[in-house]
Structure 1
């Protein structure tokens, strides 16, 4: 190998290593110094410990930061019930859809480099999407799912199955980032298009290029821009990162995000050094082992069983599919660093990832008045983030301007710029059917004694 190339590679590796080793930990603070009550924070721990005792969860973790300082960090229960392994603060979790904001930030790094514009049709960069059609059986049916619980599992108009037409317009990069591109997920619904996703093996063990080429052969479920529908569009974003950067998606994330931010345990799979810290994954008791139909299954049996091994295989052994929509593992520490970077306006410990204006753009509502399928108003959607527009309309304690998202195993985070606050809740059961993350949020705010909101 060329000596200059070797020298350059050695320099990059050394720089990455120094970045990780020199990353300052986010400091802790007494809650009272940040406008919180220690006694009322104890209410969170007591509540969650009761949920461990009654079998609602096996184990989990909660973290709250304010003003750039950690004021609450607490584990609950067990990381592995059978092995009697207690939950530790450095436990690693499958964060599923909390991967999406990370993918969005990666894509917006390339936006800042002038590699694309938000209103560009995706077919400009991925020709497999240049001639998409819309399935007439589902266009205009308003079939919606929120990604965790199917709200309306419809079949569409059976008389139109097999018929397609041209979409009213082509899907854009912004459509990908706002779940308005006309795509679906395949595992949360049972329409003609959902079934085609399952038959094509989408989200299976294929490269991102193979995935988008297979997806490009399937019609859209609805016209781009006509409705919000949770979908594989963030996985398409992962492929777009590859096309625009010329790098493998995982390499781009490591080089441009994880290493600069010191997110040392975040990746598409655990490794030899940290695999023993991966929390066990559970599922509602009494469910069958078919994860392809898990979100349709109902069970009245209480408690949690170990989830099928197939649900964790990719996170442990790896695979070809690097899911920008749900493929990462991370610790609470790592996700806090990512979140603090966003709350700081794109910078952490002197490392700038994005401009403050780009963070503002990402956390602005981009879908207008389109409903999101949660049965309530007051919420919007930015570029890979859920947005709180009106806490009163949402009916949940928060602040206008909060941005957030969660994962299929029950994890959730939120960032409240008005209160300079970050909340993180980690747990591992899929499909997740508890209100624990919402309970954690309510309990976090009840411990606040001083509001910064205007």
Structure 2
């Protein structure tokens, strides 16, 4: 079993291609943070070399120590084709760095006594009750695969979702003919509300028995739906009202509004010989339209400065600028080993 924690507080943010550094987090000379200017310059040199060689279009490097920013540099372009240079307030697709924010949202409700982490999630999301588990057996002589399902030995708990031991992955299980059930159901589509996504997850078997194996997947998206149901608030509004506004994360959300579109980075994909090319996936432009799926696993956009404020809150034990988001004990719980 792999052993990640499900939130790792960060003091270094490097975003490939972040506003001014937020109130309460000061920018100082590197020696004011105990950082060596000459060694920091090595980062700048190496990153600019990657830009020059075409390995990346651009990037941002931000290093904070003891609540002070000692290094904040940009490299290259946010839009290489249009020759638009990288800005410190460039907006990025955060992908899986959305997950730690969902972890915080869940723990906020846990602190309020809305549920126990040991609760079966079906207590709040009944569509995830009485699930089956997919089993694939291979004949050792012929290699022929036989696929069938068995009942889950126990319910998925909220803790299972937080630590990716729910039996829910991204790929999903195979049916009796070896075809992917998630593809048939459209489970991973972002053109649906997260509640519909969760219903489709419940229509398919799990890929592992709950609690038996760690596997990265849609568990954190399920938690976004849990927050909606338990709080009675759409997930995007919960994050905005309970985390983003209190922390001063002014550029974080599910959509890039028209007035901020000029700061939105282009999306790139690997090309031949270690170079890059424009990504042609829907994510290139979809964030410029109103969001449909407020998932907890990958859909947020943000800036380096905004995300630093979130990270600094965790490093401070749940508080920033006099605003407490979580108790210190909850932050300790989040950064502990829950797999053993």
User: What residue in structure 2 maps to residue 39 of structure 1?
Assistant: 38
1:247 to 208, 224, 233: 233
CA offset at residue 200 of structure 1?
A: 1.3
Inter-partner Cα distance in structure 2 for 1:103 and 1:238: 7
Indicate if the aligned counterparts of 2:192 and 2:292 stay in contact, CA closer than 8 A. Answer: yes
Q: Offset of 1:194 from its aligned partner?
A: 8.2
Structure 1 residues 194 and 316: alpha-carbon distance in aligned structure 2, compared to 1, 3 A threshold: farther
With 313-322 and 62-71 compared, the bigger mean Cα shift is at 313-322
Q: What RMSD, in angstroms, separates the aligned Cα atoms of the two structures?
A: 1.8
Select 1:329's aligned residue among 289, 292, 301. Answer: 301
Q: CA deviation at 1:27?
A: 0.2
For residues 350-365 of structure 1, the aligned pairs below 5 Å read 350-365=322-337
TM-score norm. by structure 2 comes to: 0.88
Unpaired runs of at least 5, structure 2 = 1-21
**Maintained 8 Å contact 2:92/2:264:** yes
C-alpha displacement of 1:327: 0.2
From 303, 306, 319, the counterpart of 1:347: 319
Alignment match, 2:82: 83
Please give the secondary structure, in 1, of the residue aligned with 2:78: strand
The equivalent residue for 2:165 is: 180
Which residue is 2:204 aligned to? 218
1:25-53 superposed Cα distances (whole Å, 9 cap, x missing partner): 51012222222100110000000000001
The residue correspondences of 1:159-308 to structure 2 (distance < 5 A) are: 159-161=145-147, 163-186=148-171, 195-204=180-189, 205-285=191-271, 300-308=272-280
Q: Answer whether contact 2:64 2:71 (CA < 8 A) is retained.
A: yes
Between the aligned partners of 1:328 and 1:279, the Cα distance in structure 2 is 14
Could you tell me how far apart the structure 2 residues matched to 1:301 and 1:33 are? 41
Q: Is the contact made by 1:315 and 1:328 (CA closer than 8 Å) also made in structure 2? A: no
Q: Identify the residue that residue 54 of structure 1 maps to in structure 2.
A: 53
CA–CA separation in structure 2 for the residues paired with 1:325 and 1:194? 25
TM-score normalised to structure 1 length: 0.66
- 8 Å CA contact 2:24–2:321 kept in 1: the answer is no
Aligned mates of 2:42, 2:233 — CA distance in 1: 47
Counterpart-to-counterpart distance in 2, 1:120 and 1:179 = 15
Aligned residues between the structures = 312
Looking at structure 1, the residues matched to 303 and 237 of structure 2 have their Cα atoms a distance apart, in angstroms, of 19
Structure 1 residues 284, 171: CA separation in 2 closer, same or farther (over 3 Å shift)? Answer: same
In the TM superposition, structure 1's runs of 4+ consecutive aligned residues that sit over 3 Å from their partners are 189-194
Aligned to 1:65: 64
Distance 1:41 1:267, change over 3 A: same
CA spacing shift, 1:306–1:190, aligned 2, 3 Å: farther
SS of structure 1 residue aligned to 2:145: helix
In 2, the alpha carbon distance for the partners of 1:345 and 1:278 equals: 31
Question: What secondary structure is seen at the aligned counterpart in 1 of 2:45?
Answer: helix
Q: In 1, distance between residues paired with 2:179 and 2:297?
A: 17
